[in-house]
Structures are given as structure tokens and as C-alpha cells.
Amino acid sequence: MKYIDEFRDPALAKNLFRRIESLVGPAGGTKEKPLQIMEICGGHTHAIFRYGLDKLVPAELEFVHGPGCPVCVLPMSRVDDCIEIAARDNVIFCTFGDAMRVPGTRKSLMQAKAEGCDIRMVYSPLDALELARRNPDRDVVFFGLGFETTMPATAVTIRKAAADGQTNFSVFCNHILVPPPLRALLSDPQMRLDGFVGPGHVSMIIGTEPYRFIAEEFGKPLVVAGFEPLDLLQAIVMVLQQLAEGRAEIENQYARVVPANGNPHAMAAIEAVYEPRSSFDWRGLGEIDRSGVKIRGEYAAYDAEVKFGVGYGAGKAAGREPEGCRCGDVVKGLIKPPACPKFGGECVPERPLGALMVSSEGACAAYYQYGGTRREEAA
Amino acid sequence: MAAPIVPARRKPKGKVTLAHGGGGKAMRDLVEGVFVDAFGMGGAPLEDQARLVPPEALLSGGRLAMTTDGFVVDPLFFPGGDIGKLAVWGTVNDLAVGGAVPHWLSVSMIIEEGLDIEVLERVAHSMREAADLAGVRIVTGDTKVVARGGADKLFVTTAGVGVIPAGRDLGAHLVQPGDVAIVNGYLGRHGAAILAARGEMMLETAIESDCAPLNGLMEAVLSAAPGTRCARDATRGGLASLLNEVAAASGTGFAIEEARLPLEAEIRGFCEVLGFDPLYLANEGRLAVFVPPGEAEAALAAMRDHEHGREAAVIGQVTEGPAGRVVMNTAFGGSRIVDMLVGDQLPRIC
């Protein structure tokens, strides 16, 4: 496969592994206290496990799997809200497939579908808008989910619905932002991360500027990376180089896709359609200031929260995580997934208890699916 | 004495109605006009059961093998095949991978009211063609019509009977460490073809289903490698599920080499774009055989000589364990576990 295989070349990888090995010491990593580098994005987590990178890097370096998997950080109360909307008469509820198995307080969308709710999997918000067009006597609701990557597509769809006067279409908006939880993590006194691999697709939209505080206020390096194994390895070399030289900067390994100022058209669409919520609840991390967005009043007719009266309320969102579930500690990098007492026993991909086990991009599911030593570690 | 009155048979046209399942004239017209003709059951008087003469291999110490499978694929017709071919070859393959020579098939059709009779005719003719290619006969059948919404267009269930010749014994429990795993060709085509044909992905691809009868190939492998321990066809859940099932049943582990997996550029591209793993995509003409190391070369050569095994490849080896664990050595130099599929394979969102 041209333009893909070049980024998976084992010979080039060997060179990068050698550089990682020679840099990890000068960067401050030891076997007793390995450097902790957080890959923020779930896509990176998946790639690390898929290619076995975690087992190929030296022991002086460890990956911490960040909060960048949107279905993993979705609070249970929001799943409950989805089900409440989907159960209304006349509603067709549309969602990306990943969200189907996320457990709510009582059930998941998959279970609600089996019980008779009209819930459909779509691949784009535009598919949901098309469903609305074809079903003029039904109320079609799209479950808007994801970071800055998926926000523009939802925004464009809302504007299209408004332009077409498609009033039987609305969006249940749960879009969230990448920089605020990073600030929250860095402000946590327990945090001991040394550097970050920044998300490629999110940065393609927002550029590299929004990460500046990480270097300037917290003194940590961040390198935006692509999703192929060589991208990731090169980004790690760049982080280690910064640490070894005592620098903390925002660098861009993924320049073939990510421009420094992002995508102005997409940002304009985001700006036009959404406004920040005062705070939003992250599963495992709790309420984080200005970390989520809602639909602006101008588009209230297309806002499912308004249409169905299921507003986002702080009281409602109070975390009711299953007892003993340690998703939050995993997301903060305090423990590895097998250290959670539920991992591999009560919490497995076919019956996820915690959110990190749901999506293939969740740290626990990736660990469980690809981790070479999960059963021994879980025992 | 007057001769019995035999009304002229009318070829049914238009759409299937509930009357076609009602047991009366309309049903007889449908059964005789569509299925009996297509399946070539004419000639002998139709009875409520097929009456079969035991083949020589059964009389000389062979065992009967029987299997059944339901087919609900949507769409009914897709690049490279249709529900009829799947229904015939799926059952033929389930017999073949157990070492059986398939002989007879039954067909049961659940038809949704309103289906075009022309669609039914196309499926019936396709089944006949598939049966002829596989060397089996459709010997009995049943037709039911359900009200609109009671089924989705057409469901087909086939059962098959075959004979395992004396002295032949295949099974996952016979697989041993050191055995070699071989697959007969490119992986993932059927799953990709169906997903593309559904049109939800809005991708234009030329990927065709791999659906094929594997009984001829199995006979070729078994005569070249009589020590073959086990064979399985990789259908739903793909090769990954097959390997996990065999590893669990045999109490062994597998080490699969990613670089050796037969994958085409089209399938890799399809999976790359949609976030699928080709190891989990469905196949309908792919099997894996597990053979002792001394016979691996002969088995591989026999496959490659066969029209349904041109791209056959050794993909890995059976290990001591841990029991039930399938490990893939990645082309990248790492390794990872290949687990069973959980739920359906869904495209990722970011």
C-alpha cells in the first residue's frame, strides 16, 4: 500500500529505536523511575498496542494512555440521556457505532435498541440528516460525539439542516475539547508526566497554538504526531531530545497533515455553531471547566437538549461510577490497567464495566486485546 | 376408469403472495415452476422425503456427516455471489472441512410476501449452478411465505449430508505443537464485499466475495497430506476467530506471522480507511488447515495447484501455549495477542 507501508518500514524503525535507546538516559529515564510520556489520543493508544511498541521501547520509558477516546470519557448520565431521548415516541436516534456499547447507569444504547428503541448506526452526521429528509414524520436525533476532529462535521450538518429548514433533525451535543483536560491533568498534584505526544487529527483542526500553555506554564514538551508507527517513534525521539536538552516546546512531527494554525474554515464553523459550557463532566476525571461545548441559541431549533428538555445539569451529571472501577486513575497515568481490581474479571470487552474497556481505543480494551501479559498481570 | 385430471402447470409471475405459501395451487405452481425446475428434481414423482442410495464409501466403513446452516445475508446479490451460492457452498464447506465428501442438500426457504418471483428464480438457478460446481444434489426442500415484515426478503436454510471415508479423522483436538497452519488465499474479501455492497460506506471498490466450494480443495489437500490434523473454514469472525477456536479446543497456542498473511492491497486499503482489521473480516471460501511439519510443503503445493488455493500461504505454527492464546508477530518486530472478536466490527470515529 503506497504512502502507508513507508511509515511502517521495520528497517527505519530500528534506527528510531536505537535513537530512543541512546536518548532515554540523557533525558532522565531510569529503570526504577521510567520517563512517563502520555499519548493523549486513543488512536495513538491503539497504534502502540497494535504494533507492540510498548514492548519494543526500553524499560526506562513508559507510555501513559491519555483521555483522548471520546466514548471512554463520556459520563454514564449522558448515555442515560441518550436512551431517554431514543425512547421517545417517533424518535430515530443516530449514533456512531463506537457509542453503542458504552454502559449507562442501567443499560447501553445496544440494549435499548434490543428493547425496541429505534437506534441506528451512522458513519457521518450527514447520514442522519439524510434519514431526516427521508422520514419527514419522524424526529431524527444525531448523537454528536467526539473532540475537535468531529466537531466541524456536526457543525456543518447543523448549518445545512438550518439552511434546508429540516426541522425534524436535531443534535444531542456532547462534543468536548482536548486542551482543557490536559490543563486539569497537569494541575493535579499527583501527576508526574514528563512529556506528551499530541493528537494528530485534532491538531489538524486546531493547529499547535492551543497547546502552548503546556510548555510555557507547565514546562513539559509536546510533539504532535501522526498515527503510523514510525510517526509515533519519531515523535518520541523528539520529546526525548527536548528532555535531554532541557527544552520544553510544542513541536510538530505531523507537518504533512497538521498546519501550525490548523484549519481556519473548520474553526470558523465550530465558532459559528457552538459555545463553551461552563463545565463538563468527564468520566473518571470529573467536572472540567469549559471543556465541553453546546449549540448556540441561534441554532436552538436543532439542539436536542432544548427540543427534548434534557438539558445538561451539574446535579444530574454527578459521577456514579461502578464501585471499585479505577478508570480515573488509569486516565491520569497513576496505574496501569491490570492494576485495577475489575480488569479482566468483572470488566472485559464483551461486558465493559468501565468506559476504558468499551472502545478499541480505550486503554483497558487495548491492553486486554493486545497486551501480551494481561492474564498473568490480571491474576 | 377415467385418467386422473392433471391441470396444466402455470409458470408463476409477479410477486410472491401469501397464497404461494398456502398449500394450494399457487404454492404448487411456485414449487414446481421455480424450484423443481431449477434444482432438477423433475422426472421422479415428488414425495415428502428424499430417498437416497448409500454411496460406496459409506458401505465400506465410512461415517455419515451432517450439518445445517441458515443464511440471512443482505443484500441478496453482491459482487462475486448471492444468498443461493452462500447457502449451498456454506453447507458444502462445513462438511468438507470435517473430511466429509458432501452428497446431498436440503433447502428451506422463508420468503417475505412481496418478493419478486424473478428474484426467487435467480436464487434457485444460482443454487443449482453452485450445487453442480460442488458436485452435490439438492434433493428435498420446503417453502414458507411470511407476511411483509415477518422476514427480510429471503432467508435460506440448507442442511447437508456427506460421507467421511473410513480411516479419515480430522479434529481440533488432534492439533499438536509444531504443526503448521496454512490458509488457502486472500483474507477478508467476503466481509469487505458485503459491507461495500450495502452502500453505507459510500466507497466504490471492485472487491468481490471469495465465496467458493472447498470440497475439491480439501480432497486435494487430504490426498497430498494424509496426516492433516484439522481444517476449519474462516467465516464469521474471520481468521482470528478460527484460530482462537482451534487454539482453545486443542489446548495449544499459535504464533502467526503478520508478514505472511495473504492480504491484497484493496483489502488493506479498505480496512485502513474504515478502521477494520482484516483478520476479523468474514470469508466464505477460505479455510485454514493444520498439518504436521513434514507434510506442510505437500499441502501447500496441493492448495496452490487448485483453483481455490492459488494464493495459499503458510501463516504460522502451533506452539506449546499458553493454551488458547494466538500471538501475532507483527511485521514491525513487535508482537500482539489476536483475540476473539467482541460484538460486531465497527468503524472507529476518530
Q: Same domain, yes or no, for B272 and B291? A: yes
pLDDT per position as a tens digit, B40-99: 876 666 778 899 999 999 999 999 999 999 999 999 999 999 999 999 999 999 999 999
pLDDT per position as a tens digit, A236-261: 999 999 999 999 999 999 998 999 99
Q: Same domain, yes or no, for A302 and A164? A: yes
CATH code of residue A110: 3.40.50.11740
* Sheet containing A35-41, strands listed edge to edge, beginning at the edge strand earlier in sequence: A61-68, A35-41, A195-198, A222-224, A250-252
3-state secondary structure B120-152: HHHHHHHHHHHHHHHCCEEEEEEEEEECCCCCC
Distance from CA of A70 to the nearest CA of B (A): 8
Which residues does residue A92 pair with via DSSP β-bridges, in sequence order?
Answer: A140
Q: Same domain, yes or no, for B70 and B206? A: no
> Span A73-78, mean pLDDT?
87
Q: Is residue A273 part of a domain?
A: yes
Which set of grid coordinates corresponds to residue A112?
Answer: 435499548
Q: Is residue A166 part of a domain?
A: yes
Listed range (A108-112, A218-222, B39-43) with the worst mean pLDDT: B39-43
The verdict on ipTM greater than 0.90 is no
Q: Which domain holds residue B287?
A: 172-337
Q: Same domain, yes or no, for B85 and B184? A: no
Q: Same domain, yes or no, for A171 and A284? A: yes
The last residue of one of the domains, among B121, B140, B164, is: B164
The confidence band for A278, taking pLDDT boundaries of 50, 70 and 90, is: very high
Q: Same domain, yes or no, for B198 and B305? A: yes
Q: Same domain, yes or no, for A27 and A56? A: yes
pLDDT less than 70: residues of chain B: 1-10, 42-45, 200-202, 342-350
Percent of chain A, pLDDT > 90? 64
What integer best gives the mean pLDDT of chain A?
90
For A71, list phi and psi in degrees, rounded to 5: -75, -25
Give the one of A50, A56, A150 whose C-beta lies nearest to B350's C-beta: A150
Residues of A in contact with B348 (CB under 8 A): 43, 46, 98, 359-361
The last residue of one of the domains, among B99, B134, B164, is: B164
Contact across the interface for B337 and A372, Cβ inside 8 Å: yes
Q: Is residue A208 part of a domain?
A: yes
Q: Is residue A26 part of a domain?
A: yes
Q: Is residue A257 part of a domain?
A: no
Q: Inform me whether the C-beta atom of residue B334 falls under 8 Å from chain A C-beta atoms.
A: yes
Q: Same domain, yes or no, for A86 and A216? A: no
What Cα–Cα distance (Å) separates residue A178 from each residue in A118, A148, A190, B315?
Answer: 31, 7, 20, 41
Distance from CA of B326 to the nearest CA of A (A): 10
* Measured distance CA(B305)–CA(B295) in Å, rounded: 16
Q: Same domain, yes or no, for B177 and B286? A: yes
* Measured distance CA(A213)–CA(A179) in Å, rounded: 9
3-state secondary structure chain A: CCCCHHHHCHHHHHHHHHHHHHHHCCCCCCCCCCEEEEEEEHHHHHHHHHCCHHHHCCCCEEEEEEEECCCCCCCHHHHHHHHHHHCCCCEEEEECHHHHHCCCCCCCHHHHHHCCCCEEECCCHHHHHHHHHHCCCCEEEEEEEECCCCHHHHHHHHHHHHHHCCCCEEEEEEEECCHHHHHHHHHCCCCCCCEEEECHHHHHHHCCHHHHHHHHCCCCCEEECCCCHHHHHHHHHHHHHHHHCCCCCEEECCCCCCCCCCCHHHHHHHHHHEEECCEEEECCCEEEECCEEEECHHHHHHEHHHHCCCCCCHHHHCCCCCCCCCHHHHHCCCCCHHHCCCECCCEECCECCCHHHCCCCCHHHHHHHHCCCHHHHHC
Q: Same domain, yes or no, for B304 and B233? A: yes
For B5, list phi and psi in degrees, rounded to 5: -85, 120
Q: Same domain, yes or no, for A279 and A150? A: yes
Write down the pLDDT at residue A313: 65
Q: Is residue B11 part of a domain?
A: no
Q: Which domain holds residue A43?
A: 5-70+179-252
Q: Is residue A322 part of a domain?
A: no
B50 class by beta-carbon count within 10 Å (0-12 exposed, 13-18 middle, 19+ buried): middle
Q: Same domain, yes or no, for A161 and A85? A: yes
Q: Same domain, yes or no, for B325 and B206? A: yes
Write down the pLDDT at residue B343: 61
Contact across the interface for A41 and B350, Cβ inside 8 Å: yes
Q: Same domain, yes or no, for A89 and A164? A: yes
pLDDT per position as a tens digit, B300-338: 999 999 999 999 999 999 999 889 999 999 888 888 888
Q: Same domain, yes or no, for B43 and B159? A: yes
Q: Same domain, yes or no, for B148 and B232? A: no
Give the one of B200, B332, B349 whose C-beta lies nearest to A52's C-beta: B332
Distance from CA of B241 to the nearest CA of A (A): 13
Residues of B in contact with A127 (CB under 8 A): 200
CATH code of residue B95: 3.30.1330.10
Write down the pLDDT at residue A145: 94
Looking at per-residue confidence, does A37 or A334 come out higher? Answer: A37
Task: Give, rounded to a whole angstrom, the gap between the first and last alpha carbons of chain B.
Answer: 81
Domain count, chain B: 2
Q: Is residue A298 part of a domain?
A: yes
Most A CBs within 10 A among B198, B277, B350, hence the mutation to make, goes to B350
Residues of B in contact with A4 (CB under 8 A): 268, 272
* Measured distance CA(B147)–CA(B18) in Å, rounded: 7
The confidence band for A40, taking pLDDT boundaries of 50, 70 and 90, is: very high
CATH code of residue B183: 3.90.650.10
* Measured distance CA(A346)–CA(A351) in Å, rounded: 8
Q: Same domain, yes or no, for A196 and A229? A: yes
Q: Same domain, yes or no, for A287 and A167? A: yes
The last residue of one of the domains, among A252, A277, A304, is: A252
How many pairs of residues across A and B have Cβ atoms under 8 Å apart? 85
Residues of B in contact with A49 (CB under 8 A): 336
Domain count, chain A: 3
* Measured distance CA(A70)–CA(B63) in Å, rounded: 55
Q: Same domain, yes or no, for A313 and A359? A: no
Q: Same domain, yes or no, for A156 and A269? A: yes
Q: Same domain, yes or no, for B39 and B180? A: no
Q: Is residue A62 part of a domain?
A: yes
Q: Same domain, yes or no, for A193 and A271? A: no
The last residue of one of the domains, among B98, B130, B164, is: B164
> Span A206-234, mean pLDDT?
96
Contact across the interface for B349 and A98, Cβ inside 8 Å: yes
Q: Same domain, yes or no, for B133 and B240? A: no
CATH code of residue A60: 3.40.50.11750
Contact across the interface for A372 and B333, Cβ inside 8 Å: no
Distance from CA of B122 to the nearest CA of A (A): 30
Q: Considering only alpha carbons, which residue of chain A is nearest residue B201?
A: A123
The last residue of one of the domains, among A252, A276, A293, is: A252
Q: Same domain, yes or no, for B159 and B246? A: no
Listed range (A6-15, A56-65, B198-207) with the worst mean pLDDT: B198-207
* Measured distance CA(B234)–CA(B242) in Å, rounded: 6
> Span A210-234, mean pLDDT?
96
Q: Inform me whether the C-beta atom of residue B198 falls under 8 Å from chain A C-beta atoms.
A: no
